[in-house]
Amino acid sequence: MNKFPAWKNALVIVVVFLGLLYALPNVFDQDPAIEVIGHRDTLVDATTAVEVRTALEAAEIPYKRVDELPDRLLIRFRETSDQLRAQEVLQRAFLGRDYVAALTLSADVPDWLTAIGAKPMYLGLDLRGGIHVLIDVDMETAVAQAVNRYAGDIRDLLRNERIRYGRISEESNGVTISFNDAEIRDRAFTLLDNELRDLSVSRRSDGGNLLVTVRIADREIQELQRLALQQNIITLRNRVNQMGVAEPIVQQQGDRRIVVQLPGANDPAQIKNILSATATLEYRLEDTETDIRDALEGRVPHGSRLYQTRDGRPILLRRQVIVTGNQITNAGSGIDQRTGSPMVTVSLDGPGGRRMRNVTNENVGKPMAVVFIETRTETREVDGELVSRRVLTEEVISVANILEPFGSRFQTTGLSSGQEAHNLALLLRAGALAAPIEIVEERTIGPSLGQESIEQGFLSVMIGLALVILFMGLYYRVFGLVANLALVLNLVLIVAVLSLLQAVLTLPGIAGIVLTVGMAVDANVLIFQRIREEIKLGNTPQASISAGYDKALSTIVDANITTLIAAAVLYGFGTGPIKGFAVTLFIGILTSMFTALIGTRAVINLIYGGKRVTKLAI
C-alpha cells in the first residue's frame, strides 16, 4: 500500500530536475551592459569588436568582457558608472551613424544553459529597474506635414474642377495659391471655402499677384499637435508590444514628450532602433515621358521629382503618391519564391486598395516605384560636443512594370536583408508615426521603491517562510518536513515556469507567489489533519495515509479551481500590475497542487510505503 507506479515516480523526478535546471539561471548576477547592433544592413563583426575594445581601453574604462554574438556585440561591465561612461565614449568614437547602442542588464548565464533555452525571468522596473527612454515629438514637423497634406488636397480639388492656378506655396501654418485671373481666383476661393470648412480661406492681392490663402487656425494647430502626440504614443506602444517586451510603460509627459520604460527588455538595442525609426513606404509611378538627362541638368517637370535608387542610379518619379504607409493595414515579411530575395507582403485599407486598383488598371505595362522613407537621429561630435541631428533618407528600393491590375494585397521586394524586411513589416503593422521623434534621454533606472525597500521586502518574505517551515516542522514533525520540502520545490517550480515563459515578475507578482505559498501549505494542512483524524478513528497508519490524501483531494481541488477561475478573470480584464499578479497566482496554484498532492505523496510513499509501520510521525 502507498506505493506510486514507476511512471509517477519518474514524473516527479523529471519535474524536479527540470524545475531546478530552468530556475538555475536566476542565481547568476545581472551585469550592466551595452548592446551594439548595426543599423539596417551594417554588419557587426570581429572588426567592430576590436574597435570597441580599442576605444574603451584608450579611455581607460574597465569592462568585464565583449561577447561577440551572431549579429551584435554585448559589452559587459562590473559597475553602472563604467557602463554610462562607455556609452558616451562609443558614441564619440564610431557609433553615431551606422550602429545603435542601448543600455541593458544581462545575466551572466553559462553557455550550456542558454543552449537549452534556460534564461532568467524578467524583473519589472519596481524590482530591478530597466531602460528609461525620454522621447521628444517634433510638433513643428507635425504641423508641416498637415500643411503638406492640405496642399495636396487643394491641388486635387483645383485640378478636378479644371481651375488653372499659378503656384501653390506652403507656409508655416497654411497654403497660398496664386492666380493670373481675378474671376478664376474667385471661383477657386468659393470652391475652397465650401470644401475646407475647418480652415480659414481668404483672398487678397499682393502687387500684381492674385492670391487665395488657406490658414490653419491656432485651435486646429493645437488639436493637430495633440493628435500627433497621442498617435505616436499608440504607435510606440504597438511597436514595443510587437517586439515582445513584457509590460512596457509608454505614457505622455508634458505637451510634447513621451516616456518609455522597458522592464526586462531582451533586445534593447533593437527596441531603441525600432522606437526612433519612422520608416514607411510610398508607391509612385515613374515619369517615363521626361529624359532623365534633362532632369539631372535641373529641368525637372513640375509634376515630377528626382530620386535615387539604392545603387545610386537616378530615377524620375511622379510627385503624386498612389498610396502611403498610413493606408497599410497589415504587413508581413518573407522570401519571394521567384527570386529568393526578402520581401514584404502589404495589405491596404479600402480607399487605398481602390486607388491602387484604379491606378494599376490605367497604367498596365508602365513602371511603378516603391520609395523607402526613413527618418533617424545621428549623433556626431562637433567642437568636442555630441550633437544630434535628424537625417531623412528617401530611396527607391524597387521599380517594376505593372503586369496586371492589383488592389489591396501585393508584395514589395528590393529590400537588402531579411532583417530589414522584418523591421519594415513591424513598423508598417504598428502604424506610421504622426511626427518624427528624437530620443533625448536614455538611462538605466533603479527600482521604483528603492533598493533598500526591496531588500527589506525580500528579508520579510524569507523570515515569513522560515517561520512557516519552523511551525510545520514542529507541529507535523516528519510530515511537516516533507511539506517544507514541497514548499521550497513549489517556489523553484514557479521561478522555473516564469523563466520559461519569460514573464515579468513585479511586486504584485510577488504578492501572488506569497498567496500561493500559503495555499500550498493549506493543502498539506488539510491532508495531514485528515490523516490524524483517520488514526484517531483506529485505522492503520498505511490506511490513514491513503485515506488522508484521497478524502482531502476533492476539497483541495475545488478550492484551487475557484482560485484559478479568479486568476483567469483578473488576467483577462486586468492590465499591467494586475496581470502580473494573476500570472504568478495562476502558475503558483498549478505548481502547488502538483507539489502538495503528488510531490509530498511521493516522498511519504518513499518513507512509509510498503513498510510495516505502527506509528506515524505526524
pLDDT in the model for residue 41: 59
Whether the per-residue pLDDT at 339 is higher than 80: the answer is no
Please name the fold of domain 6-24+449-608: Multidrug efflux transporter AcrB transmembrane fold (1.20.1640)
pLDDT in the model for residue 293: 85
Q: Which residues are bridge partners to 345 per DSSP?
A: 332, 411
pLDDT in the model for residue 16: 92
pLDDT digits (tens, 9 = 90+) for 346-376: 888 888 888 888 888 888 888 888 888 876 6
Whether the per-residue pLDDT at 409 is higher than 70: the answer is yes
Whether the per-residue pLDDT at 243 is higher than 60: the answer is no
- Burial code of 200-213, b = ≥16 C-beta within 10 A, e = fewer? ebebeeeeeebbbb
pLDDT digits (tens, 9 = 90+) for 220-230: 888 888 888 88
Lowest pLDDT segment from 57-66, 571-580, 603-612: 571-580
Taking residues 129-134, report their average pLDDT: 75
pLDDT in the model for residue 380: 65
Taking residues 172-199, report their average pLDDT: 86
Same topology between domain 6-24+449-608 and domain 228-444: no
Query: What CATH number labels 140-220?
Result: 3.30.70
| Cα distance between residue 57 and residue 68, in whole Å | 17
pLDDT in the model for residue 565: 92
Alpha-carbon distance values, 523 to 160, 164, 518 (Å): 78, 85, 9
Lowest pLDDT segment from 31-35, 59-63, 201-205, 415-419: 415-419
Whether the per-residue pLDDT at 539 is higher than 90: the answer is no
Q: Are strands 342-348 and 328-335 parallel, antiparallel or unpaired?
A: antiparallel
Percent of the chain's residues with pLDDT above 90:
6
Taking residues 9-25, report their average pLDDT: 92
Whether the per-residue pLDDT at 242 is higher than 60: the answer is no
Whether the per-residue pLDDT at 496 is higher than 90: the answer is yes
Label residue 13 by pLDDT band (50, 70, 90): very high
Label residue 62 by pLDDT band (50, 70, 90): very high
Percent of the chain's residues with pLDDT above 70:
86
pLDDT in the model for residue 319: 85
**Phi and psi at residue 175, to the nearest 5°:** -135, 140
pLDDT digits (tens, 9 = 90+) for 420-449: 677 667 666 666 677 778 778 777 665 555
pLDDT in the model for residue 254: 84
pLDDT in the model for residue 267: 55
Architecture of the structural domain at 29-108 = 2-Layer Sandwich (3.30)
The domain ranges of the chain are: 6-24+449-608, 29-108, 140-220, 228-444
Determine how many CB atoms are found less than 10 A away from the CB of residue 4: 16
Residue whose grid cell is 558614441: 91
Whether the per-residue pLDDT at 323 is higher than 90: the answer is no
pLDDT in the model for residue 302: 80
Burial of 339 (0-12, 13-18, 19+ CB in 10 A): exposed
Residue 54 Ramachandran class (φ > 0 left, ψ -120 to 50 alpha, else beta): alpha
- Out of 10-19, 122-131, 206-215, 235-244, the most confident range is 10-19
Label residue 22 by pLDDT band (50, 70, 90): very high
Statement: 228-444 belongs to CATH 2.30.40.10: no
Label residue 117 by pLDDT band (50, 70, 90): confident
Residue 454 cell numbers, joined: 526591496
Mean pLDDT (the chain) is 81
